Structure 1
Amino acid sequence: MRVVVWIVEGTWPACVDAARAHAPADAAIVLLHVTPAGVPGAAHGAFAGLLGRGHPPEDRPAGGWGSDPGTRMEHLATASAERLLRDAADRLGRPCTRRERTGRVEREVLAEAGAADLLVLARDGDRAHPGPHGIGPAARHVVDHAPCPVLLVWPDPVPPGHAPRPGPPET
């Protein structure tokens, strides 16, 4: 059995705990973190298109206009993802594969889930209310299009006063 655990800042502990509790001992567990490609790309574009125009390189301040902030953001994102995956692996406490992908988040998660027997992810929307608003757009897309069973977990305890609704009436 192959279990993919989607690691996201803020909700990853609940996902790791769910995988630890529900995945068989012999399951191959993949911890997946996806870095959106858009933020460094926007910084690269802003730097190239707007900053430093009309100033030859020799007139720019040292380390200032000549340093593309997109590159720095890429390095920070990589370091953050590595740290997050390391912390998740430590919490899992069993052998696993750590995988970092970059791109459109929902597409990357679905691509990784294509070879999975189970995908574990957490609600990432409005945590105060159960229901459709408790899942953000990327997670909703993944839940709707996952090619395998999905275990959707609460990142926090269920909000008070929100008891599970009864199932359909028995016939």
Structure 2
Amino acid sequence: MAVVVWIVEGTWRACVDAARAHTPPDAEIVLLHVTPADVPGAAHGAFAGLLGRGHPAGQRPAEGWGRDPGTRLEHLAAASAEQLLQDAAERLDRPCTRTERTGRVEREVVAEAEGSELLILARDGDRSHLGPHSLGPAARFVVDHAPCPVLLVWPEPPPGLPTMPPPPPHHAP
């Protein structure tokens, strides 16, 4: 059985615990972390835009201008992802593969799940109420487009039934 477990800061423990509880011991588990490409890209772009201003062409930029903050963000993101995956693997406490991808988060998760028999992810929206708002945009996309069965877990005990939204007015008795 091939299983992908989406590792996200704040919810990864619940996903790893679900993998331990709901998959056979011999399952091929992939712990997946996706780093969004847009933040370092924006920093690269902002830095590149600043390079063309404030000094004559051919003159060396002011001290500190030669360090692209986008590169620093990429390194910080990679270190954070590596630590999350290491912590998740230790908590899983069984053989697994650690995979880190970069790009549009929701699309990278769906792509990684192709050919898998199960994808495990956690609710990432408003977790104080039952209902569709308990899924953020990325998780909603993944649930809607996953090419395999999905196990959707609450990262903490779910709220009670009284938190369920009322039916729409056109469905009222």
Q: Which residue identity does 1:76 align to in structure 2?
A: L
Give me the whole-angstrom Cα distance separating, in 1, the residues matched to 2:162 and 2:126: 14
Amino acid at match of 1:60: A
- Counterpart CA distance in 1 for 2:115 and 2:128 is 33
Deviations 1:123-142 (A, max 9, x none): 00001011100000010010
- Conservation of the 8 A alpha-carbon contact between 1:34 and 1:105: yes
2:79 aligned residue: 79
2:38: which partner in 1? 38
Deviations 1:40-73 (A, max 9, x none): 0000000001356232653512xx2111000000
The unaligned stretches of length 5 or more in structure 2 are: 165-173
Specify the alignment match of 1:102 in structure 2. Answer: 102
- Contact kept? 1:52, 1:65, Cα under 8 Å: no
Q: Cα RMSD between the aligned structures?
A: 1.8
CA distance in structure 1 between the aligned counterparts of 2:130 and 2:116, rounded to whole angstroms: 27
In structure 1, stretches of 5+ residues that fail to align are: 165-171
Counterparts of 1:9-28 in structure 2, within 5 Å, are 9-28=9-28
Percent identity over paired residues: 77
2:60 is matched with which residue?
Answer: 58
Residues 130 and 161 in structure 2, CA contact (< 8 A), matched pair in contact too: no
Aligned to 2:169: none
- Label 1:160 to 1:136 Cα distance change in 2 as closer, same or farther (>3 A): same
Is the CA contact 1:125–1:133 (under 8 Å) kept in the aligned structure 2? Answer: yes
Paired residues of 1:52 and 1:60 also in contact (CA < 8 A): no
Q: What TM-score, normalized to structure 2?
A: 0.89
Determine the C-alpha separation between the residues in 2 that align with 1:144 and 1:59: 48
Aligned residues of 2:33 and 2:85 also touching (Cα < 8 A): yes
How big is the shift at 1:27?
0.4
Task: Map 1:104-143 to 2 at 5 A.
Answer: 104-143=104-143
* Residues 68/25 of structure 1: CA separation in 2 closer, same or farther (3 Å cut): same
Structure 2 residue aligned with 1:145: 145
Q: Equivalents in 2 of 1:6, 1:57: separation in Å?
A: 47
Letter aligned with residue 62 of structure 2 = R
Q: Is the 8 A contact 1:6 1:31 kept in 2?
A: yes
Distance 1:163 1:23, change over 3 A: farther
Name the CA distance, whole Å, in 2 between partners of 1:59 and 1:109: 40
Q: What does residue 155 of structure 1 align with?
A: 155
